[in-house]
Amino acid sequence: MTTAEIEAYIKQYAPGKVKLAAADIDGILRGKYISTEKFSATLKGDLGFCDVVFGWDAQDLAYENTRFTGWHSGYPDMLLKLDPRTFRKIPWENDIPFLLGDFYDATGKAAHVCPRQVLKKVIADCHSLGFKPYFSQEFEWFNFEETPDSFALKGFKDPKPLTPGMFGYSILRSALKSDFFHDLFDLLAKFDIPLEGLHTETGPGVYEAAITYSDALEAADRAILFKTAVKEIAYKHGIMASFMAKWREDLPGCSGHVHQSLWDEDSTSNLFFDNTEAQGMSTLMKHYIAGQLHCLPHILPLFAPTVNSYKRLVEGAWAPTTLTWALDNRTVALRVLPLGAKSARIETRVVGADTNPYLAIAACLAAGLYGIKHKIVLSQPATVGNGYRDFSNGKLPANLNEATKQMRQSSIAQELFGAEFVDHFCCTREWEWQQFSKAVTDWEMKRYFEII
């Protein structure tokens, strides 16, 4: 829809309000409802939005270690500009008009802390090189027969999975809760988040969805909206959906794999495919793979942003632990699929469902472009067999603290994303580790309370 068509729809929308949102550093959508009158004024200018959304963590606890904003600055407003290209109607909320926005500073410059702006900057860099990036993110997540109230009354312990048993790719289990299952597919399509597929995964109450590919910015918009939309649709069915990376030790974790390819400016030729090569991999694709392998240890917190993320990245749990690549192999960090002129792509399997899609996609693209710019040779051979046992190129950092230290000290991270963003993001991850480190866990109580 054009901006004029959007305005016309909103003016005639009887409830007289618009819903808007933007992503914080954790990938949580922070938003509000505004009147249609306020929206009309906003389209002609900017909307003030408190910068505290970049001054607190996922639990709204104010950071004490960041420089961007805080008590020292008084938490002033940032400018939020709505992007008409993100316009949607929310079908499970009476078709209310909805838009996403980008944050800017008081001078009108793109805010360096804004995840969507970070991605837009990387995409612009990609376009300047003559490439058009196409991406898609797929998600696994667990569903529970709980409400926020019931789960809180349980002390946030032992949520009841939606269905029992492991049942990957199960027709039976998708039929068991078919109203919810079909609502997801149908309502997401109406919300302009088309799915290529939706199925049960191995685990009690776990689903997996592959979002239809698109240009990189639209792919990230779809991904971040997907996570919130799934949660809201689940609420309608008395269900809680969780994208936590690993909710139980003895079950697989939840991935957020990113599929990606580079095309020419006209979107007519997939530049990752070369039919003159034995494996179909173009030189450009090889540089891109080499760039990701080289950069991964320097930017891992963008792919694994929480303390819990690293509980997923363990051996034998369908998530990678080594810096590896291979052709169609699900035990490595980069699964390479040079399947043809239309479908040749790379799947970055490090990414978890708990990521901020803007930052995960930006990290994949920036790292791949780094390999292209520096013409890094893919000298590391493809892994054959079990990637968990291939230590030829090293292992991924083992926890958030280790990964964040490496990112903070990395000149590569600063080259890819700028010193200001790296500083702010690393501060938020250091804060996350600090909050975890001072917490007393159930594991400690069971292990030490009596015997030690």
Q: What is the pLDDT of residues 297-324, one digit of tens each?
A: 999 999 999 999 999 999 999 999 999 9
Residue 116 counted as domain residue: no
The model's pLDDT over 131-146, given as tens digits with 9 standing for 90+, comes to: 999 999 999 999 999 9
On whether both 383 and 279 belong to a single domain, the answer is yes
Contacts of 107 (CB under 8 A, 6+ apart): none
DSSP 330: T
pLDDT at residue number 102: 97
Residue 60 counted as domain residue: yes
pLDDT at residue number 40: 86
Residue 423 counted as domain residue: yes
Q: How confident is the model at residue 3 (pLDDT cuts 50, 70, 90)?
A: confident
The helix (run of H) or strand (run of E) holding residue 284 is helix 283-299
Q: How far apart are CA 423 and CA 54, in angstroms?
A: 13
Q: How far apart are CA 95 and CA 156, in angstroms?
A: 33
Residue 451 counted as domain residue: no
On whether both 70 and 215 belong to a single domain, the answer is no
Residue 145 counted as domain residue: yes
On whether both 231 and 86 belong to a single domain, the answer is no
CA 140 to chain centroid, in Å, comes to 12
Q: What are phi and psi of 130, to 5 degrees?
A: 95, 15
CATH of the domain at 165: 3.30.590.10
Q: How confident is the model at residue 192 (pLDDT cuts 50, 70, 90)?
A: very high
Average pLDDT over residues 238-260: 97
Q: What are phi and psi of 104, to 5 degrees?
A: -130, 155
Predicted structure pTM score? 0.97
Of 367, 374, 290, 301, nearest to 324 (Cα)? 290
The model's pLDDT over 47-99, given as tens digits with 9 standing for 90+, comes to: 999 999 999 999 999 999 999 999 999 999 999 999 999 999 999 999 999 99
Q: Please determine, for residue 444, whether its predicted confidence score (pLDDT) is greater than 80.
A: yes
Q: Which amino acid is at 24?
A: D
Residue 115 counted as domain residue: no
pLDDT at residue number 1: 82
On whether both 130 and 264 belong to a single domain, the answer is yes
Helices (H), 300-418: 309-312, 357-373, 400-408, 411-417
Count CA atoms within 13 Å of residue 377 on its CB side.
1
On whether both 150 and 70 belong to a single domain, the answer is no
Count CA atoms within 13 Å of residue 85 on its CB side.
7
DSSP 213: P
Q: How many CB atoms lie within 10 A of CB 309?
A: 26
> Is 216 within 8 Å of 361 (Cβ atoms)?
yes
The model's pLDDT over 137-175, given as tens digits with 9 standing for 90+, comes to: 999 999 999 999 999 999 999 999 999 999 999 999 999
On whether both 85 and 136 belong to a single domain, the answer is no
pLDDT at residue number 213: 98
pLDDT at residue number 325: 98
Q: How confident is the model at residue 448 (pLDDT cuts 50, 70, 90)?
A: very high
Q: How far apart are the first and last CA of the chain?
A: 66
pLDDT at residue number 44: 74
On whether both 38 and 180 belong to a single domain, the answer is no
pLDDT at residue number 42: 86
The first and second tokens of residue 111, run together, are 């805010």
On whether both 399 and 345 belong to a single domain, the answer is yes
Residue 355 counted as domain residue: yes
The first and second tokens of residue 428, run together, are 């938020």
Mean pLDDT computed over every residue of the chain: 96
The model's pLDDT over 356-394, given as tens digits with 9 standing for 90+, comes to: 999 999 999 999 999 999 999 999 999 999 999 999 999
pLDDT at residue number 43: 79
Q: Report CA-CA distances (Å) from 174 to 165, 184, 251, 445.
A: 13, 12, 19, 38
CATH of the domain at 30: 3.10.20.70
On whether both 391 and 340 belong to a single domain, the answer is yes
Average pLDDT over residues 34-51: 89
Residue 449 counted as domain residue: no
pLDDT at residue number 2: 87
DSSP track, 368-392: HHHHHHTT----SPPP-S-GGG--T
The first and second tokens of residue 194, run together, are 């088309």
Q: How many domains does the chain have?
A: 2
pLDDT at residue number 41: 85
Q: How far apart are CA 356 and CA 352, in angstroms?
A: 9
Average pLDDT over residues 182-211: 98
On whether both 77 and 12 belong to a single domain, the answer is yes
Q: How far apart are CA 321 and CA 315, in angstroms?
A: 6
Burial class (CB in 10 A: 0-12, 13-18, 19+), 400: buried
Last residue of a domain, one of 58, 83, 110: 110
Q: What domain range is 307 assigned to?
A: 123-444
Q: How far apart are CA 243 and CA 59, in angstroms?
A: 16
Last residue of a domain, one of 110, 133, 153: 110
DSSP 161: B
On whether both 251 and 342 belong to a single domain, the answer is yes
DSSP 199: E
On whether both 104 and 178 belong to a single domain, the answer is no
